[in-house]
Amino acid sequence: MLLTVGGYHCSAYSPVEPVKLRVQENTPFGSRRIAAIVPCHNEELTVGKVISDLRAALPGADIYVYANNCSDNTAEVAREAGAIVRFENRPGKGNVIRRAFADVDADIYLIIDGDDTYEAADAPGMVQTMIDGNYDHVLGVRTPADSTAYRPGHERGNRAFNVLTSWMFRDNVTDMLSGFRVFSRRFVKSFPAVSRHFEIETELTVHTMSLRLPNTEYPVGFRDRPEGSFSKLSTFKDGFRILWLITQLTAHERPRLFYGGLTALFALISLLLGIPVVWEFFQTGYVPRLPTALLSAGCMILAFLMGSVGIIMDGVRRARRETSRLHYLALPAPGNE
């Protein structure tokens, strides 16, 4: 199926050959191939500046702008600024990241939003931190330049998700919804990328936690969008998507916690409903509240089912994690390339 985006024809489903980056020499990072990936949805006002800032910060990097279902001139502006333009017509940042990680072949991957809210000058420090520490994931922790950098409620929501995710996956994260990150090749090639929208940042963070990958955080500048540029993030819609993904990932990555909690819940309900019925039976020899007795028995059956599912899913999780770990170990560390 052919689609026309900004005057250019592209297929929504045609495969793209993995892009082989040129060997980058005479850069502060040696011959390591660096790919900067810039997801964009109608960012014609800002993408040109983001590209020029990346050029100044990482002179040897190849810059990929992924135009995501754009209806403006994002692709043309990016091409004129010297970026390599790719198209992903399935809407959603998660779809862009999945496509980019599949198409682009590099040693180090950098992701930065195309809305010019992040300070691209921090990119060299993030890359150098990754190389020096042999990290697989460097998370850019946003440091707001002023009080208007965050939309109302977003900072509190981000903190709440940080606390919830840190507790669920027994690790610490300061800014899990940041759109400025650096990854090693072995991180990217072991990352399944199943999310479709803005919850992709949550999936990236949980992948780091679940495989216990070497990671660190790096403070980066964060500012408000330029005048005339508008956020595509829906506070409540995307917030619920993130919360739902955290729930799903908890079931997948910590099945004993998730299904064990459901087991305890159903067992507790069963006991609360059933104990009075049993007591009456011993006192009178009758079961006057038959519906309550049936509900109690049903809840106890569900408790046993949830416990059994948890045991099975824990075995599946172990096998899946071992496979991901082997894919990860098949590639060299960023500091050894």
3-class state of residue 2 by DSSP: strand
Counting Cβ atoms within 10 Å, is residue 289 exposed (0-12), middle (13-18) or buried (19+)? middle
Per-residue pLDDT, 290? 86
Give the mean pLDDT per block of 10 residues along the chain (337 residues). Answer: 43 46 58 93 92 94 93 92 93 93 94 93 95 95 77 76 91 92 94 87 93 95 77 74 90 92 96 90 83 93 96 92 88 76
Residue 104 DSSP label:
E
Please give the Cα distance from 202 to 322 (Å, whole number). 21
Per-residue pLDDT, 264? 96
Secondary structure (DSSP) of 202-229:
HHHHHHHHHTT--EEEEEEEE-PPPTT-
- The tokens describing 74, both together, are 């994002």
Helix then strand then coil, % of the chain, to nearest 5:
50, 15, 35
Instruction: Provide CB contacts within 8 A for 239, sequence distance 6+.
Output: 157
Predicted TM-score of the model (pTM): 0.80
Secondary structure (DSSP) of 77-93:
HHHHTTPEEEEE-S-SH
CATH topology of domain 34-233: Spore Coat Polysaccharide Biosynthesis Protein SpsA; Chain A (3.90.550)
Per-residue pLDDT, 148? 65
> Rounded to the nearest 5 degrees, what angle is found at the Cα of 12, between the Cα atoms of 107 and 241?
75
Instruction: Provide CB contacts within 8 A for 210, sequence distance 6+.
Output: 169, 249, 253, 321
Please give the Cα distance from 138 to 297 (Å, whole number). 50
> Are 68 and 232 contacting, i.e. CB atoms less than 8 angstroms apart?
no
Ramachandran angles phi, psi of 125, nearest 5°: -65, -40
Residue ranges covered by each domain of the chain: 34-233, 238-330
Q: Strands across the sheet with 84-88, in order?
A: 84-88, 62-68, 34-40, 108-111, 181-184, 137-144, 215-222
- The tokens describing 18, both together, are 């993995």
Residue 193 DSSP label:
-
Please give the Cα distance from 177 to 155 (Å, whole number). 10
Residues in the chain: 337
